[in-house]
Amino acid sequence: MSLQATLSVRVASALQAAGIEDSLAVVMPSVDTRFGDYQTNAAMVAAKALKKNPRELAASILSHLHVEDLCEVPTVAGAGFINFKVLDATLSEALNGVRGDGRLGVIPVGSPKTIIIDFSSPNVAKPMHVGHIRSTILGDSLARIARRLGHRVVTDNHIGDWGTQFGKVIHGWKHLLNAEALEKAPIAELVRLYREVNSAEENNPGLKETVRHELVKLQQGDPENLEIWKQAVALSWKEFERLYGLLDITFDERLGESFYNDALAPLVERLLNEEIAEKSEGAVCVFFRGSPELEEKPCLIRKSDGGFLYATTDLATLEYREQRWKPDAVWYVTGAPQQLHFEQVFATARRMGVTTDLRHIAFGSILGEDRKMMKTRSGENVELGGLLSEAIERALTVVAEKNPDLSKDQQEEVARIIGLGAVKYADLMQHRLTDYVFSWDKMLSFQGNTAPYLQNAYVRIRSIFRKAEAEGISTAVSPIVIADLAERALALQIIQFSEVLYTVLEDQRPNLLCLYLYELADRFHKFYEACPVIKSGGDVRASRLTLAGLTADILRDGLGLLGIRVPERM
Ligand code: ARG
């Protein structure tokens, strides 16, 4: 058990003894470390509910609290915070536990859950927009963290490979296709076809009908249209895969919308029979009468022309997932604009008897410097491939300037790590629900809360080790002794790694891991300034080298959980 968890257990029994609801026993790292290392606001929360004086309640909790083996005598501060200052011996012990543990102190969950994470999910032959970029980065990180904590994770890329866009694409393919362009840049060519037909349709109602007919033919299994569809999906997927490869992202499943096509009609019939859905003006809807949020917003599952909808596919998808994986939770990582869609799907699923924990992991937008939705100069959606190449290119300029003596190949390798890391980190460090302004300069800076800053902290530690090795100093992992204040601050941060991962997963907020790593690097720099490592000798040096080594391990591991790699030099 982590120190934080142990303290929570102790507080819980003190609350019980004081006759207070023990679920209030939440112990957190202190915000202001002058008052202590950990704190709990249990007395304040309880006082509010019981209409009592919080400081008096805190005193009464203290009289039942036994932590003398772990901390100095706890104190009450402010409006009723109880503060804990951990004994150096306790801290060393916890730290040495992390040191001797291949998992860096990360304790797997007691009862693993099966979590399906539905993320990335771009649409074939439609431009991938920045929403897909955020989904890709965020979903991948959440999957990594959930796995690290011992959950069973199934990642599924629910690509949009069966939408109405195919009427346009097929018509364009038959009449406007540039085979050479398709060969060179398939997605761009498919998007071009889509756009051209789309705008031609606008002042040509006849064309609209023809295009719709192509779609109907596809849906009815016309061999020619089916073949075009297959090729378009395969070409798009190839390009998506290249990007996922670059980003080091993999999926367990890639069950796109088309996979569920045959399940849609029977599903709607079943929902009608079970009186979950009803006919309304020729269409089929699920009504949520009496629901304050959804009363006026029925979920449409079949249009009056017989066509099915995004929601219909999501319901079929959920049924399939329920049967195949029996998940405890399904997480849908998509932008905030899809909130209503998921509320409707989840509410319908409840009616169907699904009890799984369904969550829409929503996120905000990426904005351009003008604070409007990020677009390219010509006003189009920013394309992920171009964005990543630019990141690598810009990183290369920085790397070449800072490391002229690295070989060209090495420079390129480091630039890839830095450039891609910078893009991912800039996204993950934000609270996912906030919109943020995309800025190359900020994200590639070696100062501040950025990936290069953290990667650089790692590199610095590695160079300390190289130096030690060059001087014949042993770098063997040794017992850690805490003496200096800066050492203590770093040690406290290190033992909190496991707890942070739990908090991150609870609200699906990797930005808390970013913040943790940033603080870790910061405390390391302070430690390194205050405490000579190589120049000290004997046990102190061995201890400090071990502390530095642990910091590097957590930086590498923590960044890895964000999908970001570290270079050995930069
Ligand atoms: N393809 C969709 C879009 O681009 C995202 C799909 C998300 N997943 C889902 N099961 N609905 O908006």
pLDDT tens-digit series, residues 473-522? 999 999 999 989 999 999 999 999 999 999 999 999 999 999 999 999 99
| 159-208 confidence digits (pLDDT tens) | 999 988 899 999 999 999 999 999 998 888 999 999 999 999 988 989 99
pLDDT digits (tens, 9 = 90+) for 94-124: 998 898 888 999 999 999 999 999 999 999 9
> Quick check: CB of 236 below 6 Å from ligand 1?
no
Instruction: Using most ligand atoms within 8 A of CB, pick from 118, 121, 333 the residue to mutate for ligand 1.
Output: 121
Closest C-alpha to ligand 1, atom 8: 158
Alpha-carbon distance values, 137 to 121, 143, 332, 458, 563 (Å) = 12, 10, 13, 22, 8
The single-letter DSSP state of residue 80 is T
Per-residue confidence at 393, pLDDT binned at 50, 70, 90?
Answer: very high
pLDDT mean over 272-293: 96
The pLDDT of residue 290 is 94
- The b/e string for 446-470 (b: 16+ C-beta within 10 A; e otherwise) is eeebbbbbbbbbbbbbbebbeebee
The pLDDT value given to residue 127: 65
Distance set, CA 537 to CA 1, 257, 480, 487 (Å): 33, 63, 14, 16
Q: By the 8 A CB rule, do 104 and 148 touch?
A: no
> What pLDDT does 4 receive?
92
Q: Is 456 in the pocket of ligand 1 (CB under 6 A)?
A: no
Helices (H), 444-510: 451-470, 485-495, 497-506
Any ligand 1 atom below 6 A from CB of 121:
yes
| CATH of the domain spanning 256-363 | 3.40.50.620
Type of residue at 203: N
Is the shortest distance between the CB of 256 and ligand 1 below 6 Å?
no
Does the CB atom of residue 332 touch ligand 1 within 6 A? yes
Gap from CA of 414 to ligand 1 centroid (Å): 33
Q: What is the pLDDT of residue 225?
A: 97
Q: What is the pLDDT of residue 181?
A: 95
Residue nearest to atom 11 of ligand 1 (CA): 314
Any ligand 1 atom below 6 A from CB of 258: no
Ligand 1 in reach of 334 Cβ (< 6 A):
yes
Q: Can you tell me the distance from the alpha carbon of 267 to that of 418, in angstroms, rounded to the nearest whole number?
A: 47
Measured at the CA of 312, the angle between CA 384 and CA 157, to 5 degrees, comes to 30
Residues with Cβ < 8 Å from 151, sequence gap 6 or more?
109, 112, 113, 114, 115
Residue 333 β-bridge partners = 361
Compute the distance from residue 132 Cα to the ligand 1 centre, in Å.
9
Q: Of the CATH numbers 1.10.730.10, 1.20.1640.10, 3.30.420.10, 3.40.50.300, which one belongs to the domain with range 451-561?
A: 1.10.730.10
Tell how far the Cα of 515 is from the centroid of ligand 1, in angstroms.
29
Distance 314 CA to ligand 1 centre (A): 9
User: Which ligand 1 atom minimizes the distance to the CA of 160?
Assistant: 1
Average pLDDT, the chain: 94
Cβ(314) – ligand 1 distance below 6 Å: yes
Any atom of ligand 1 within 6 Å of the Cβ of 158:
yes
| pLDDT per residue as tens digits for the range 9-60 | 999 999 999 888 888 889 999 888 788 999 999 999 999 988 999 999 999 9
The CA distance from 344 to 355, in Å, is 15
Does the beta carbon of 160 lie inside 6 Å of ligand 1?
yes
The region, left, alpha or beta by phi > 0 then psi within -120 to 50, assigned to residue 311 is alpha
Supply the CATH classification number for the domain 3-86.
Answer: 3.30.1360.70
| pLDDT, average across residues 280-293 | 96
Q: What is the pLDDT of residue 374?
A: 82
CA 11 to ligand 1 center in whole angstroms:
44
**CB of 118 shorter than 6 A to ligand 1:** yes
Tell how far the Cα of 253 is from the centroid of ligand 1, in angstroms: 15
Residue 382 has pLDDT above 70, yes or no: yes
Long-range own/partner contacts, residues 241-247 (CB < 8 A, 24 or more apart): 242/385, 243/384, 243/385, 243/388, 244/120, 244/136, 246/388, 246/416, 246/420, 247/136, 247/137, 247/140, 247/388, 247/420, 247/424, 247/563
Q: Which phi and psi (to 5°) does residue 185 adopt?
A: -140, 80
Atom number of ligand 1 nearest to Cα 341: 11
For ligand 1, pick from 260, 315, 338 the residue to mutate: most ligand atoms within 8 Å of CB.
Answer: 338
Alpha carbons 69 and 87: distance in angstroms, whole number: 8
Cα 422 to Cα 74, 106, 399, 443, distances in angstroms: 42, 25, 13, 5
pLDDT of residue 325 exceeding 90: yes
Q: How many CA atoms lie within 13 A of 555 on its CB side?
A: 30
| Sign of the dihedral defined by the CA atoms of residues 478, 480, 481, 483, in that order | positive
The model's confidence at residue 371, banded by pLDDT at 50, 70 and 90, is confident
Label residue 379 by pLDDT band (50, 70, 90): confident
CB of 151 closer than 8 Å to CB of 186: no
Domains in the chain: boundaries: 3-86, 165-247, 256-363, 384-443, 451-561
Give the chain's end-to-end CA distance (angstroms, integer): 37
Task: Name which residue sits closest to atom 4 of ligand 1, judged by CA.
Answer: 122
The ligand 1 atom at the shortest distance from the C-alpha of residue 342 is 11
Ligand 1 contact, 148 CB (< 6 A): no
Instruction: Say what the pLDDT of residue 220 is.
Output: 87
Answer yes or no: same fold for 3-86 and 256-363: no
Q: Whole-model pTM?
A: 0.94
Atom 6 (ligand 1): residue with closest C-alpha?
A: 121
